[in-house]
Amino acid sequence: MPSNNLDSSDQTVIVPAILEDLPQLIQLLMELFEMEGDFEPNSKKQEEGLRLILEHPNRGRILVIKNESKIIGMVNMLFTISTAEGGSVLILEDFIIHPMNRGQGYGKQLLMAVKEFAQLKDFKRITLLTDKISAESQNFFNKEGFQFSKMIPMRMYLNE
């Protein structure tokens, strides 16, 4: 797992998130969900979801890019099996770089760490959802090798 991606010019490191990171992760998710049309920010739900991943690493990992003072960005990698690919695949959620730190290459570094992790663990595919109204996000992921799928997401909410 990429854990020592140290850049001497800005002293950032990419590491797996830990429980002590929860307050900063929740804040990043609140900012992300403020921008997205499908989700309502709810710090209690965000904390519960993050804990389910952090406390059960067989379900996924959360990578963070941080400097000495704060977490700059995060990505949530969920593990599942694809019968189409005949093996394990990653689903990326919650890919966010703090608004004050965008355009500085941090997203590219974080995505590179995801790709390295996926290759190291022999994942067959990486899938992500990006906000339909965010051309900036779509352009970023497209430049990094992601392609639009012919499939469209559909959701059913339970117990609401």
The number of residues making up the chain comes to 160
Instruction: Per-residue pLDDT tens, the chain, 160 aa: give them.
Output: 444 444 344 699 999 999 999 999 999 998 887 766 667 778 899 999 999 999 999 999 999 999 998 999 999 999 999 999 999 999 999 999 998 999 999 999 999 999 999 999 999 999 998 766 577 888 888 898 889 888 888 878 897 6
Q: Which two tokens stand for residue 105?
A: 């290459």
Q: What is the pTM of this model?
A: 0.85
pLDDT, position 160: 64
pLDDT, position 17: 97
Distance CA 70, CA 133 (A): 28
What CATH fold (topology level) applies to the domain 13-143? Answer: Aminopeptidase (3.40.630)
Radius of gyration of the chain (CA): 15
- Do residues 77 and 117 make contact, with C-beta atoms less than 8 angstroms apart? yes
42 burial via Cβ count (<10 Å: 0-12, 13-18, 19+): middle
> 155 — phi, psi (to 5°)?
-130, 150
Distance CA 13, CA 97 (A): 14
Distance CA 46, CA 52 (A): 10
